[in-house]
Amino acid sequence: MINTGGDGTKERMYFSGGAAAGLRRGYNVLLWDGPGQPGTYLEDRSQVFRPDWEVPAGAALDYLGTRGDVDHARIAYSGYSMGGYFVPRTAGHDKRVAAGVALALTPEMWPFAAYSQVKNKEWFTTAPTEDELELDTKAKYIAMEVAPRHGIPAGPGAIPAWGESFKLFSCAGLEETTTCPILNISTTGEGKGWYDNAKAYFDRLPNPKNRFVLTTEDDGGEIHCVRGNSSLAHQLTYDFLDEVLATGPARR
């Protein structure tokens, strides 16, 4: 099953997220939007992002459990961008996830996701004025479009509240319970902070089949989520899954 992150849709994931590639490799694929993601939020404005992502992911896994065309011992979960938080968070709680793929691991959403998105860091403690917000397109998008999907009223005051909300998104303490094989795909363009955040968590995960990949400019893969070379991301993903899900459950 495949999730996008904070601002995509399941339809977009059909090609860029590897669903079509998975079908060609013989996998069944479930694409789904969770709370806070645009496809869900536009249908029901009460469905906002939540740190306990294992709950909506658990509902998706419950659905897969009703299907006869699913090998319930070999369910893989792939997540892009903010999905790099959803995957380890769910895998640490739910043993029905037999393998995880994160592009890239984001076990702590603050500060490497939230803090890096706003140019003026002072706005996390002192909200911008409306005039200041008008001059910063990205901050305005966060304040007016993204923050409401976190349950925060739109406006300049949304910036500090949005950042504060991300402090609840944490995988701390789940390392030892994340026993399934995990593939992390980091990119050079995400920067050292994001890389270090992913690597520190990855190094505490116990499964010997875990794999950490860093894609670079030489691969055409330096952009966040390997967006400059999606075919490479799909190849890395399904080569890994072919290996760790080859026979029976993928755990030690």
The strand order across the sheet containing 211-215 reads 2-3, 76-80, 99-103, 182-187, 211-215
Query: How many whole angstroms separate alpha carbon 16 and alpha carbon 24?
Result: 14
Instruction: Select from 186, 222, 224 the least CA-distant residue to 203.
Output: 186
Q: Structure tokens of 133? A: 């917000």
Residues 6+ apart with CB under 8 A from 90: 53, 54, 57, 58, 77, 97, 100
Instruction: Select from 70, 11, 56, 13 the least CA-distant residue to 225.
Output: 13
Cβ of 126: how many Cβ atoms within 10 Å? 11
Tell me the backbone φ, ψ of residue 215, rounded to 5 degrees.
-95, 150
Looking at residue 113, what is its pLDDT? 64
Residues forming beta bridges with residue 102, ordered by sequence position: 79, 184
- Which regions of the chain carry the CATH code 3.40.50.1820? 2-109+173-244
Per-residue pLDDT of the chain (252 residues; tens, 9 = 90+): 999 999 889 999 999 999 999 999 999 999 999 999 999 999 999 999 999 999 999 999 999 999 999 999 999 999 999 999 999 999 999 999 999 999 999 999 987 667 778 889 999 999 999 999 999 999 999 999 999 999 999 999 999 999 999 999 999 999 999 999 999 999 999 988 889 999 999 999 999 999 999 999 999 999 999 999 999 999 999 999 999 999 544 443
What is the CATH code of the structural domain delimited by 2-109+173-244? 3.40.50.1820
Looking at residue 114, what is its pLDDT? 72
Residues 6+ apart with CB under 8 A from 128: 120, 136, 139, 143, 156, 159
